[in-house]
Amino acid sequence: MSVATESTETFASLNPATGEVVAEHPVHDAAAVAAAVGRAREAAGWWRALGWKERRLRLLNVKGSLTRNLNRMAELIHQETGKPLQDAQLETIMAITHLDWAARNAQKVLGPRGVYPGIMAINQKCVLEYQPLGVVGVIGPWNYPIFTPMGSIAYALAAGNTVVFKPSEFTPGVGALLADLVGAVVPEHPVLQTVTGLGETGAALASSPGVDKIAFTGSTRTAKRVMAACAENLTPIVAECGGKDACIVDADADLDAAADAALWGAMSNAGQTCIGIERIYVVDEAYDRFLGKLTEKARDLRPGFDREAAYGPITMPGQLDVIERHIKDALDRGGKAVVGGAESVRKPYVEPVVLTDVPDDSSAVCEETFGPTITVHRVKDLDEAVEKANRTAYGLAGTIFSGDRSRALDAARRMRSGMTSINAFAAFAPVAALPFGGVGESGFGRVHGADGLREFTRPKAITRQRFSTMNLTSFGRSEKEMARLLDMINLVHGRRYKR
């Protein structure tokens, strides 16, 4: 459910393509956030007590409802972000897939299981289980307003937590609709509430002592502020932040496929993708042919809000200045625009920009651009490509195109990132069983998969003594018992190991 508010203050969500008001939403202040967290706390006991099977059933029904409302959700995403309707549909489908996986796998991943106690504790029955934390605060971005928060919301709910969700101020309607759909399927208690507002609403959620964990997705800069707020209450946080992902193209790669995927990775959603491709490193032998294919395809792309447009406007107006600055810096420092250029920024749109010969320390290469621009670099071999791809404080994901399976796998392992996709772009994102998250400035912790479920739990260890053996942790232990233990330990652990 969306949270009711006493406050009369509202803000508008705007269509970034037309500037029209999509809807007005309440600004939830600190008191409203605290009230929502309080309700979530009460609901958490009920939701947890429902048990695995009932939660699974309800979440599968939420999934069914979201699927039946797919077009309604996608239209709202289209309106609030400006992205093409089909992209919004694809995003919603991915969110549905994750919700399905989380609902179906929570018990298997988190439920109680026996653990072998080891020889020292052979008389103990050991049980490990993953218990819900209670109330999870989810703070989401605008660029994938259903897919990204669902990576936390579905997994947190499936693990037995309740959720208070603060969507981005650019996409409040998506958050409100999601909470309404959940509320209609689970009417008894507010297991998912959406609070809307600006940064202060998110700050109130992060600093709430009633929240047991914050799942934050957004920029690295805001993640640091959220973490500082969480420190006050020792609230743990999972942080999914920005990126500067690289695509590597090997000498023997399928260049048509590589150019197609790199273009989609760089330009789809107007480049406003955390795991979007922002840099391409191409091995010398393939460079000219690859660049030819990439630029030919890039020239065909046109931004707009109509059905034929390849991608939409820049959703967050302030980002246009960043994109403009990065293009200018690249060109001022010797870079060449082989597609587009400084004139490509036509607010609220940015036409495709392909840059070459850009110095490695230019802001277009070092900082997250979040626009439909790409820098292409010539490297002598795969090793140099990996080394340059890793020369960033970020480390979210990456792409490798190569005709050699083992060379690609080796390069993927050496890439400093949470995810790497070989011969496709971001193939890991819709695979619900795989963990998603970054290293360095891209954040820490994981959403999706078994790791994503465990992220919203605490492990609980329980032992039960089945029979008594030597009682070594008693003031009554005998010399004889200790000697027997020492003999046993020598036998089990004292030997020399050979290769």
Q: Could you tell me the smallest distance in angstroms from the CB atom of residue 176 to ligand NDP?
A: 14
**Tokens standing for residue 223:** 């993640």
How far is it, in rounded angstroms, from Cα 338 to Cα 353? 8
Nearer to ligand NDP, 130 or 165 (CB): 165
If binding is defined by CB under 6 A, does position 243 make contact with ligand NDP? yes
Smallest gap from residue 230 Cβ to ligand NDP (A): 10
Decide if 351 is catalytic.
no
Q: Which two tokens stand for residue 221?
A: 């800069």
Segment contacting ligand NDP by CB under 6 A, of 49-57, 200-208, 246-254, 300-308: 200-208
Q: How many other CB atoms are there within 10 angstroms of residue 53's CB atom? A: 9
Contact present, 368 and 441 (Cβ < 8 Å): no
218 sits near ligand NDP (criterion: CB under 6 A): yes
249 vs 396, beta carbon nearer ligand NDP: 396
Residue 229 CB, nearest distance to ligand NDP (Å)? 6
According to the binding rule CB under 6 A, does residue 242 interact with ligand NDP?
yes
Q: Is residue 226 within the footprint of ligand NDP (CB under 6 A)?
A: yes
Binding positions for ligand NDP, 154-173, rule CB under 6 A: 166, 168-170
State the catalytic residue, choosing from 230, 241, 247, 274: 274
Regarding 224 and contact with ligand NDP (CB under 6 A), the answer is no
Whether omega before 348 lies within 30 degrees of 0, making that bond cis, reads: yes
Question: For residue 226, which phi and psi values (nearest 5 degrees)?
Answer: -65, -40
Residue 456 C-beta: closest distance to ligand NDP, Å: 16
Tell me if 197 sits within 8 A of 29, measured CB to CB.
yes
Distance of CA 199 to the CA centre of its chain: 19
Residue closer to ligand NDP by CB (options 111, 199) is 199
In the complex, the smallest distance separating the C-beta of residue 214 from ligand NDP, rounded to whole angstroms, is 8
Q: Which amino acid is at 255?
A: L
* Residue 243 CA from chain centroid, whole number: 11
Distance CA 203, CA 468 (A): 53
How many residues would you count in the chain? 499
Amino acid residing at 383: D
Our finding on whether 199 is near ligand NDP (CB under 6 A) is: yes
The nearer residue to ligand NDP, 28 or 297, going by C-beta atoms, is 28
Q: Which is nearer to ligand NDP, 74 or 259 (CB)?
A: 74
Does residue 240 have an active-site annotation? yes
CA distances from 459 to 69, 132, 336, 453 (A): 36, 9, 54, 11
Smallest Cα–Cα separation from 82: which of 312, 402, 294? 312
Question: Where does this chain touch ligand NDP (CB under 6 A) — which range of 141-149, 245-253, 331-339, 471-479?
Answer: 141-149
How far apart CA 280 and CA 257 sit, in angstroms, is: 14
In order of 163, 266, 329, the CA distances from 261 in angstroms are 35, 8, 26
Query: Counting contacts by CB under 6 A, is residue 237 touching ligand NDP?
Result: no
Catalytic residue among 80, 91, 169, 240: 240
Q: Which residues bind ligand NDP (CB under 6 A)?
A: 139-144, 148, 166, 168-170, 198-199, 202-203, 206, 217-219, 222, 225-226, 240-243, 274, 316, 368, 396, 438, 443
Catalytic residues: 240, 274
